[in-house]
A and B are shown apart, each in its own frame.
Chain A
């Protein structure tokens, strides 16, 4: 019988409940550090996994044409003061399949830890994948998080990834996503991160729109305060006729924090179009005043705006 007590303890810390991910009809993979705790498949969803000193290796496959009704849960974390968790994930979405994946990354306890994720994801033609990755960290600031993904979005497929790290200290975060989108495929990346004290945030996201009518959106929302730093690179390349891409970066800076944004847009086909917008600075004055006009103090208003942006 797997020991789920650390999972329940961790979820309890942020007011959550792990019951849905342990439900009998939901596929899941749970690993504490380099220890595989539980693996559960569901009709049309296969999960192969092995764990060793060098980390956890997993291969998840959703069979062609399968629409998975329940979210598939991937739960990773460390429940010791110090530790390392390296994960290599291979994911294949069969032709015409549909699924939603939730990655719960629990690092509320460690003082010093490293979590790396090296993912290779392939969406066959017409597949649809929504991937939500939510990190829960403690107050230590000693966590190093390195999520890396290479994604191939097939013809007419749709990939959507939401990354969120707004609970606790970030520590050091280095996101590196690269996505290739084939004809009529769509890729949407959204990242939301809140850095405090000396947190160091680096986000590099690239979408290459290689097929005709391919679509791409990179949306980044980052707030940094105290002495935190953030460097954001959002790159989109329009390489085919009718390709459309947009990069949208918004960063709010408080205290001595420093943020930078480098939107990189490149078009190599005359019928492709890529746009970008970036705003960095303190909170929008009009938004601030609109909330203060409802009686919120300046501090309450700023918190509400940041919370909303990162929600």
Chain B
């Protein structure tokens, strides 16, 4: 692992999420191998890598989505193993995932969706935080009538409503207009203040805001350290795993 760090937990930080040599394979073909990564409480960890590097797969593995059982290693959350727990049990322990392409529903309003699993939440306040006017959205259906960007913002509002201990955000700014990027960055920071964030992003400025970062290539972490160091490494096109052919092609 290069260039500047083999240390995956900042000194003194309490690990909230621990991925211990995590491996995942489909039909014997390794998708993720030897993933060691921690996220401490109050920390934001950025995950970088080219499309297909395994970032979203890792997010779904941590969340416990169907067909994403570990083939090696362990996942600990707040010190307890969670890799055998079903998705909803992980959610109840405080892990939340904002999908890259969130689901749409018939017969479910935005307001109802935001209240699911978050009875104490203030849906209007959560919508305002992501730049949506509550009166325009609370009664709207969470269906195909929403644009991709609107649905994405609502997904972030949904995660805010849950007040998770760990928010996994899969490309939170994709589909969001250029002028609103800073607004979404503010939401990511708010989630970090609430708990911790594992952030998958292709946006340099957002990754730079993290406390630490990891670069994935071909299902392995090839670089881990400060965001500046990992971003710089990513830009050198000098991947120790593929010589830049796979992760920078």
**A interface residues (Cβ-Cβ under 8 A, vs B):** 221, 250, 284-287, 289-298, 301, 304-305, 307-311
- Excluding A294-B117, A294-B158, 15 further A-B contacts by CB distance (< 8 Å) are A286-B99, A286-B103, A287-B103, A289-B63, A290-B103, A292-B86, A292-B91, A293-B96, A294-B118, A295-B92, A295-B162, A296-B116, A297-B88, A305-B105, A308-B105
Smallest beta-carbon distance B84→chain A, Å: 15
Chain B residues within 8 Å of A311, by CB: 106-107
**Does B97 have its Cβ within 8 Å of any Cβ on chain A?**
yes
Interface contact A289-B87, CB-CB below 8 Å: yes
**Is B108 interfacial (CB 8 A cutoff)?**
yes
Nearest opposing residue in chain A for B90, CB measure: A293
0/1 interface trace, chain B 137-176, chain A, CB 8 Å (1 if under) = 0000000000000000000001000100000000000000
Within 8 A of A (CB), among B59-116: 63, 65-66, 86-88, 91-92, 96-97, 99, 102-108, 116
A308 near B99 with CB under 8 A, answer: no
In the bound complex, what is the Cα–Cα distance between A289 and B66 (angstroms)?
Answer: 8
> What are 13 of the A-B contact pairs (CB < 8 Å)?
A221-B106, A284-B103, A287-B104, A287-B105, A290-B105, A292-B86, A293-B63, A293-B96, A295-B88, A295-B91, A295-B92, A308-B107, A311-B106
Contacts of B105 in A (CB 8 A): 287, 290, 305, 308
Residues of B contacting A286 in the complex (Cβ-Cβ under 8 angstroms)? 99, 103
Q: Using Cβ atoms and an 8 Å threshold, which residues of chain A touch B63?
A: 289, 293
- Would you call A294 and B91 a contact (CB within 8 A)? yes
Q: What is the CA–CA distance of A307 and B116 in the complex, to the nearest angstrom?
A: 14
Cα–Cα distance between A301 and B96 once the two chains are bound (Å):
16
Residues A292 and B107 in contact, CB atoms below 8 Å apart: no
Give bound CA distance, A287 to B66, whole Å: 12
Q: Chain B's nearest CB lies how many Å from the CB of A292?
A: 4
Q: Which residues of A contact B66 (CB under 8 A)?
A: 285, 289
In the assembled complex, the Cα of A285 lies from the Cα of B63 at a distance in Å of: 14
Q: A285-B66, A296-B117 are in contact. Are A304 and B108 (CB under 8 A)?
A: yes
**Which residue on B lies nearest to A309, using beta carbons?**
B106
Known contacts A285-B66, A298-B88; is-contact A293 B97 (Cβ 8 Å): yes
- Cα distance A310–B107 in the bound complex, in angstroms: 7
Size bin of chain B's contact surface: 20 to 34
A285: chain B residues at CB < 8 Å are 66
Cβ–Cβ contact B108 & A292, under 8 A: no
Q: Determine the distance from Cα of A298 to Cα of B162 in the docked complex, in whole angstroms.
A: 18
Give bound CA distance, A296 to B97, whole Å. 14
Q: How far is the CB of A290 from chain B (nearest CB, A)?
A: 4
Residues on B with C-beta less than 8 A from A305 are: 105
| With contact pairs A285-B66, A289-B65, A289-B87 given, residues A294 and B107 touching in the complex (Cβ less than 8 Å) | no
Instruction: Kindly report which residue of chain B lies nearest to residue A307, judged by CB atoms.
Output: B107
Interfacial chain A residues near B88, Cβ < 8 Å: 292-293, 295-298, 301
A49 smallest CB distance to B (angstroms): 35
- Complex alpha-carbon distance, A309 and B91, angstroms: 24
A294→B116 contact, CB < 8 A: yes
A4 to B75, CA, bound (A): 63
- Chain B residues, Cβ within 8 Å of A301: 88
Most buried by B among A286, A292, A305, A309: A292
Give Cα distance in the complex from A286 to B106, angstroms: 13
Q: Would you call B103 and A294 a contact (CB within 8 A)?
A: no
Residues of A within 8 A of B91 (CB): 292-295
A185 to chain B, nearest CB (A): 24
Q: Given the complex, which residues of A lie within 8 Å of B96, measured CB to CB?
A: 293-294
Contact A294 B162 (CB under 8 A): yes
CA distance in complex: A41, B63 (Å): 60
Q: Nearest 8 A-B pairs (CB), nearest first?
A: A308-B107, A294-B117, A311-B107, A295-B117, A290-B103, A292-B88, A292-B87, A294-B116
Contacts of A310 in B (CB 8 A): 107
Q: Please, which residue of chain B has its CB at the minimum distance from the CB of A192?
A: B107
Q: How far in angstroms is the closest Cβ of chain B from A176? A: 25
Measured CB to CB, the closest approach of chain B to A298, in angstroms, equals 7
* A300: nearest chain-B partner, CB-CB: B88
Distance of A284 Cα from B143 Cα, bound (Å):
14
A292 to B99, CA, bound (A): 13
- B116 contacts which chain A residues (CB < 8 A)? 291, 294-296, 304
Interface centre among A284, A293, A308 (most CB of B within 10 A): A293
